[in-house]
Amino acid sequence: MRLLHAYDNIRKRYRNGLAVVMVKRNACGGCFNQIPPQMQLEIALRKKIIACEHCGRVLVDDLIQNAEE
């Protein structure tokens, strides 16, 4: 319930309504700030939910798109 509430708050905060964004070219897909290498490794492991330090959006690696297809 807590995660769902946090997700809804993030969606309301931004104009485009994106709460989950992919990491592309080592940067957040929402605010385009650089993501540290250690955090990129943690995102790729997919063991916990990682939020961007700058905008608060949930980060996922770009390989997750290929996994769904």
The residue ranges of every structural domain in the chain are: 2-68
Burial class (CB in 10 A: 0-12, 13-18, 19+), 26: exposed
What's the half-sphere exposure (Cβ side, CA atoms, 13 Å) at 8?
Answer: 5
Distance CA 4, CA 27 (A): 25
Q: How do the pLDDT tens digits run along the chain, 69 residues long?
A: 888 998 898 899 888 888 999 999 999 999 999 999 999 999 999 999 999 999 999 999 988 766 655
Q: Which residues are within 8 A (CB) of 28 and not within 5 positions of it... i.e. 6 or more apart?
A: 21, 35, 52, 54, 55, 57, 59
